[in-house]
Structure 1
Amino acid sequence: MLIYPTMELQGGRCVTLAKGRLNEPMVWHVDPVETAHDFAKAGASWMHLTDFDAIEGRGDNAELVEEIIRTVGIPVQLGGGMHSRERVEHWIDKGAGRIVVGSLAARDPQLVGELARFHPDQIVLAVDVWRGQVMTDGWRTASAWAPESFIEAFGDAPFAGIVITDIENELDEVEAQLGLISSLASHARAPVIASGVVRSVDDIARLTYVQNIAGALVGRALFRKSVDLSEALKIAQPGPEPVAAFR
């Protein structure tokens, strides 16, 4: 299973949110570029980066994002404010390894399917679920999509992955989150990345046994230091299969 150390930016600072409340960020007083480099030094093969200001349409952290992409040394999976083909392709041209789209996919699934086929293995579908509906606009607007139908609408589009977030349940309700995410993963043809379910390395160990989940975003737990990234990466790696002893 692939671990994606996750950074979320707002106003040039690293933040995390509770249930997507953009107006109530928890600010972490760390340097974003240094933190991204620490992810790479710990052995991560990817990182996930979201620009909350771009989601809100109140400017963005473009210079900071560009610096991280340019210097971190591992590919960056980037989301936030990808509301058009031009925006998606701008960041691909800037060197982002993958682009995460959610609201655009809900509004124009045909366009996003075309982007996935034109940029195979570079487009990631975001499925943010609240009370049985796919949410858009930074989790603030309910779409007309049920999550199962949303995933199935893209058929065999060559997404690099599908990030599934259960917004309704918080981190103290991991069992409910995993149940939803695993169920939705059964409808997906691309690798599913679980979001918002890791509080400790025990959760990572448990995720390795959950059917259909190929990766996990880990953000808040890293900043709280309840998860050590190097340890998480080791636990996520498959161990050797037991071999029967013959006598």
Structure 2
Amino acid sequence: MILYPAIDLKDGNCVRLLKGDMDKATVFGSDPAAQARQFEAAGCEWLHLVDLNGAFEGRPVNGAAVEAILSATSVPVQLGGGIRDLATIEMWLGKGVARVILGTVAVENPELVREAAALFPGKVAVGLDARNGRVATRGWAEETTQTVTELAGQLEDAGIAAIIYTDIDRDGAMQGPNVAATEALARATTIPVIASGGVSSLADIEALRDAVGIAGVISGRALYDGALDLEAALAALAPAA
């Protein structure tokens, strides 16, 4: 299982939100590139970036911060937030992003997901963000009637590289991830599932590791607060010798 440390970008800063609320942002640093270098130096294999402003505005906003991270590090980066057309997908992949994450557009224009996945094999993931099991879009501001499992089923043959599943009510709340819902989704699809939201301790990492079919885990606030020791988490997820 891969640990993806999260760098959430708002107004050029590294922040964490509480349950997706842009008005409840805690700033953890003003130099996202320096934070990215720290994660790489610690041994992280991937970075998870989110353009929070972009998620709300529907276009890239924190591009300068993303490009600074790409220049400062050599590990692969996955990026979500405000990526809603083929031109933006091509732009970010051209700049060195290893994998783009499509969220809102996966609900509103699933054919674009299929087109992008066909054009860029292995480089397109889908972010399924849920509140009470229902998919939410546009920076989590709008709730749909679709369940996560229903949408995952519709994408089963789309050729996407991964599903990032976020339980919004757990995100940034330090209350533990929704292991049962994440495992249920992983069992329901052949697409690799990455867990996001609520990871608050090494025990949470171990619970996700021991669940069936979960390919990765994203952690943000717990790493910044020190509740989760990065070295211990990486050791817990390392392949057995």
What TM bracket, shorter-length normalisation? over 0.9
**What letter matches 2:212 in structure 1?**
Q
- Aligned equivalent of 2:33: 33
User: Structure 1 CA distance, aligned partners of 2:132 and 2:206?
Assistant: 27
Percent pairwise identity:
35
The answer to whether the 8 A contact 2:135-2:143 is kept is yes
Deviates more, 1:204-213 or 1:97-106: 204-213
For the residue of structure 1 that corresponds to 2:23, the secondary structure is coil
Q: Which residue of 1 is the match for residue 197 of structure 2?
A: 196
Identify the residue that residue 68 of structure 1 maps to in structure 2: 69
CA distance in 2, matches of 1:29, 1:44: 19
The structure with more strand, counted as a fraction of residues: 2
Within 2, Cα distance between the matches of 1:2 and 1:44? 8
Q: How does 1:111-126 map to 2 (within 5 A)?
A: 111-126=112-127
Matched, 1:12 2:12: yes
Name 1:51's counterpart in structure 2.
51
CA 187–201 in structure 1, closer or farther in 2 if over 3 Å, else same: same
How many residues are paired up? Answer: 239
Counterpart code for 2:26 = M
Unaligned runs of 5+ in 1: 241-247
Matched to 2:176, the amino acid is: V
The residue that corresponds to 1:158 in the other structure is 159
Larger radius of gyration: 1
Query: For structure 1, which segment, 212-221 or 52-61, has the greater mean C-alpha deviation from structure 2 after superposition?
Result: 52-61
Q: Is the 1:178–1:197 contact (alpha carbons within 8 Å) kept by the matching residues of 2?
A: no
Amino acid at match of 1:238: P
Q: CA deviation at 1:30?
A: 4.9
Distance across 2 between alignment mates of 1:173 and 1:45: 25
Q: What is the TM-score normalised by the length of structure 2?
A: 0.94
Contact 1:19 1:168 in 2 (8 A): yes
Aligned positions of 1:49-198 closer than 5 A: 49-57=49-57, 60-169=61-170, 171=173, 173-174=175-176, 177-198=178-199
Q: Which moved more, 1:87-96 or 1:25-34?
A: 25-34
Q: Deviations over 1:67-112 (max 9, x none)?
A: 1112211111001101111111110111100000110110011110
Deviation by residue 1:165-198 (Cα, 9 ceiling, x = unmatched): 11134645436x1111111122222111000131
1:14 and 1:155, CA in 2 relative to 1: closer, same or farther beyond 3 A?
Answer: same
In structure 2, the residue corresponding to 1:128 is in which secondary structure? strand
Provide the rounded CA distance (Å) in 2 between the counterparts of 1:236 and 1:4: 11
* Counterpart-to-counterpart distance in 2, 1:29 and 1:38: 12
